[in-house]
Structure 1
């Protein structure tokens, strides 16, 4: 381990310790967002409702994350209950729900807003919004008059106005500074009924955990008949299959993960200098043939045997003539000279001089000088060019 790596490791440990101390000493921050997520334990999640709903519907409940449009295209069902709690549903899916209701199903729609053309079909034209910080949800039926919920945290203040004559008001929102406004209605639609509640907050963890509030929720659902209920939940509530889902779901682990990645990036950045082991020098393969020729040449020069070297050169020349020029070298006569002159294009004087040198080399008793060897070598090379 080199010195630089040790320094980075110490810095990383110090940063992690500081973050751990900050995490231990920090105050818990409450998430007050209205997420209506069945897996969220934050105040405005639906975790408690999701745990208790099976008992509420006597285990006759089917929960699906499919859109109503896809679900009813795949499933043909007898009359049943339909439950939607603050779900972002598209218009074709709303129309599928209305179609099921028209054939005898009952729908409980606990939503703060829905498409205008759908609300017009049900029987109300608009929803009012109040900005009071507190209000009370009550039911209009006398048998439920003692059951209510006081909303003291971020009520939506939504309610129905311009209600058609065939719409029955089942609940209302009571405020100190404003007139009462309907928030829970019932509409006869075809062979079935539609129940619409404009304030889904009463189903969230924050309000269900308060004493007495569960009774109001049970009263609302008591309007549904005892039959199978299909609850359409948000598709985002499906458990993620991402392998990091557990770490990213825990704030402390998530921060540690990002710090780890940041530390690795810093380490890579500061070690970005190009590091490469020494490239060994590869010696090229030696041409031993050239060395051999040089050795032989030096041997002949040292011995001074110029005649033998002329013999070797003559033999090499005649062999090339036979193989490359296809001329018979048995007789070095006038006919041989003419053929060699025609094939090489050299002058007859050069050809005759070369033949004389070859014959001199073939004469074992000829006296050969160093100059003769040099001249013969140059002449024969010139002819074979």
Structure 2
């Protein structure tokens, strides 16, 4: 075991000990989010109501995870009750529910934010925020239920029904100290059946159902439904149940262990998984022999002493560059040519005239060329083309 591995092992153990101490001393925090989840035991989940629902509906309750549109397309139902609690309803599903109600079924909709506009348009009301009070009381208007009420002391929605049409019957109200009573539970006749709408689902949550005396209010609300088969449309949990890590992540201890394991593996990979490979042999790049070739050719000409031929080739190369790059005709090396070359290159006319004299000498096969002439033309022509 090398020294580096020991250091990493110590760091990993220290991290685990710190996490364990934090977990032991951690205070349980309460999740006050309004989730309305039938499997959630937090204050605003529906775990208690879900467990008691069968008794409430006298074992005639059927929970459906499909949308109403899918369910009624697959099943032909007789007269029955329909219950929807904080579950989104699309337009097509709402049409299916209205078809069932018009044939004699009753629908109970208990929603705070999920009630779509199509529902309010069909029933004939508008839902709106009526209050921002921290406490209010839910009461039923029927005299036989006047002693059965529920006090909402945590996060009431403040929702209510307004602009209610005359044919709508008000079954329940929200009572507050500083505001007038507002309708929160209504009934409307639709075809052969009835639609009940309640805009404060908090009374069904764990927090309020576990308080003494509050169950009676819930029983009163559902007593408006007749004693017959009830279909409760609940949100689908199929996606969550298929997740293979759901059990681990739902348990705090297992969740911390899982994250510690992932953290340890990450540290190990980061510090120890170094790239290992064989030594790559150094390959010398190919030599550029062009310069050597030029030097060899130059030495050959010097040894032969043929300065005239070298001077002629230099002149030929220069004139070709003038034609291609400066677009000047080189047929006549006269004053017109010199003037154009001087304008294009910006060199002095004296330098250009001297270069023309040397070029003509290089083109003359009978001219006597010295080594000095070759050196001079080479310098002049290179200077002009700079």
Q: Taking structure 2 as the reference length, what is the TM-score of the superposition?
A: 0.70
In structure 2, the CA distance between the partners of 1:261 and 1:44, relative to structure 1 (3 Å rule), is same
Question: What is the CA deviation profile of residues 183-203 of structure 1, one whole-angstrom value per residue up to 9, with x for unaligned ones?
Answer: 000110011111100100000
Segments of 5+ residues of structure 2 without an aligned counterpart are 281-386
d(CA) in 1 for partners of 2:36, 2:270: 43
Name the structure 2 match of 1:58.
58
1:145-184 to structure 2, matched below 5 A, reads 145-184=146-185
Partner of 2:201: 200
Equivalent-residue separation in structure 1 for 2:271 and 2:171 (angstroms):
68
Q: Secondary structure at the match of 1:160?
A: strand
TM-superposed CA distance for 1:58, in Å, is 0.7
1:49 paired with 2:49, answer: yes
Counterpart CA distance in 1 for 2:186 and 2:278 is: 79
Q: 1:25 to 1:133 in 2, by over 3 A?
A: same
The structural deviation recorded for 1:255 is 2.7
Give runs of aligned pairs for residues 33-48 of structure 1, distance below 5 A: 33-48=33-48
Give runs of aligned pairs for residues 214-225 of structure 1, distance below 5 A: 214-225=215-226
Alignment partner, residue 268 of structure 1: 269
Matches of 1:20 and 1:56, distance apart in 2: 44
CA distance 1:120–1:218, change in 2 (3 Å)? same
1:5 is the counterpart of 2:18? no
Residues 142-179 of structure 1: per-residue CA shift (max 9 Å, x gap): 01000000000000011101111111000000011111
Task: Report the secondary structure of 2:137's partner residue.
Answer: strand
Counterpart Cα distance in 2 of 1:6 and 1:64: 57
Q: Distance in 1 between matches of 2:6 and 2:129?
A: 65
Distance (Å, rounded) in 2 between the aligned partners of 1:189 and 1:71: 21
- DSSP 3-state at the match of 1:219: helix
2:248 aligned counterpart, secondary structure = helix
Largest Rg, 1 or 2: 1
C-alpha distance after superposition, 1:101-143 (max 9, x if no partner): 1111100100114122321111213333310000000000001
1:238–1:80 CA distance, 2 compared to 1 (3 A):
farther
Cα 1:237–1:221 change in 2 (3 A) is: farther
CA–CA distance in structure 1, aligned partners of residues 269 and 149 of structure 2? 61
Specify the alignment match of 1:78 in structure 2: 78
The CA RMSD over aligned residues, in Å, is 1.7
- Quick one: distance in 2 between partners of 1:140 and 1:72? 34
CA distance in 2, matches of 1:237, 1:205: 23
User: Judging changes above 3 Å, is the alpha-carbon distance between structure 1 residues 174 and 157 closer, same or farther for their aligned structure 2 residues?
Assistant: same
Report the more deviating stretch, 252-261 or 128-137.
252-261
User: In 1, distance between residues paired with 2:144 and 2:92?
Assistant: 37
Number of the residue aligned with 1:15: 15
Contact 1:39–1:237 under 8 Å retained in 2: no
Matches within 5 A, 1:272-291: 272-275=273-276
User: Distance in 2 between the 1:98 and 1:248 partners?
Assistant: 40
Residues in 1 aligned to 2:211 and 2:220: alpha-carbon distance in whole angstroms? 16
Q: Relative to structure 2, which stretch is displaced further, 199-208 or 123-132?
A: 123-132
Partner of 2:119: 118
Aligned partners of 1:131 and 1:157 also within 8 Å: yes
Alpha-carbon deviation of 1:4? 2.9
Instruction: State how far apart, in whole Å, the 2-side matches of 1:168 and 1:91 are.
Output: 25
Q: Do the aligned partners of residues 139 and 237 (structure 1) sit closer, same or farther apart at CA in structure 2, a change above 3 Å counting? A: farther
Kindly provide the CA deviation profile for residues 50-71 of structure 1, in whole angstroms up to 9, marking residues without a partner as x: 0000000011111011111111
Q: Is the 8 A contact 2:127 2:159 kept in 1?
A: no
User: Residues 237 and 36 from structure 1, CA distance in 2 versus in 1: closer, same or farther, beyond 3 angstroms?
Assistant: farther
> How high is the TM-score relative to the length of structure 1?
0.70
Aligned to 2:288: none
Match of 1:29 in 2: 29
**Residue 169 to residue 238, structure 1, CA distance change in 2 (3 Å):** farther
Aligned pairs for 1:229-378 (under 5 A) are 229-236=230-237, 240-275=241-276
Structure 1 Cα separation of the partners of residues 205 and 126 of structure 2: 27
Give, in whole Å, the separation in 1 of the partners of 2:2 and 2:277: 15
Question: Aligned partners of 1:4, 1:212: CA distance in 2, in Å?
Answer: 65
- The Cα of 1:238 is off from its aligned counterpart by 6.6
